[in-house]
Amino acid sequence: MVTHYYDHERKDELYDALKPILAPLSGFNPGGSAGGFSFDREARIGDLEDTGAFRDVAVEEVRWSLLLIPARALFGTFSTVLALEKDEREDVHRRIERVLREDFGGSFRRTVVTILYTAQRKPGQ
């Protein structure tokens, strides 16, 4: 199971608005990587089937929403933000919260995608 805090099939207005703040941070990848590893269903199912140890391989993709109030609830956990000195980190939080307040009315509902791969082990495996 993998949870992505973005939806690779939808435009993310919040990330777009935050790029000027977050993009300069070392290692930051706004919006994740479209078509990433876990989204490649055929390849992941093939990986499980190719082992010869599993049958009935299935995948489920669940979309749910996450209300960000305040923004630091999500962005405060990013390693690129956590790595900043305390004063820099607080400045980033203030700038993010200003964008959230001024551009989105103080909160943002983000679509989150959880991908679950399941398989049954073959007898004798």
| pLDDT at res. 91 | 94
| Per-residue pLDDT tens digits for 47-92 | 999 999 999 999 999 999 988 777 677 777 888 888 899 999 999 9
| pLDDT at res. 1 | 79
Bridge pairing between strands 108-121 and 2-4: antiparallel
For residue 125, pLDDT beyond 60: yes
For residue 117, pLDDT beyond 80: yes
Residues 6+ apart with CB under 8 A from 102: none
pLDDT band at 39 (very low <50, low <70, confident <90, very high): confident
| CA separation for the pair 66, 111 (Å, rounded) | 6
| Per-residue pLDDT tens digits for 16-29 | 898 899 888 876 66
Percent of the chain beyond pLDDT 70? 92
| pLDDT at res. 78 | 82
The secondary element (H helix, E strand) that includes residue 70 is none
Rounded (5°) CA angle 120-122-125: 120
| pLDDT at res. 32 | 52
Which residue bears the tokens 């103080």?
Answer: 106
- 13, two tokens: 């207005």
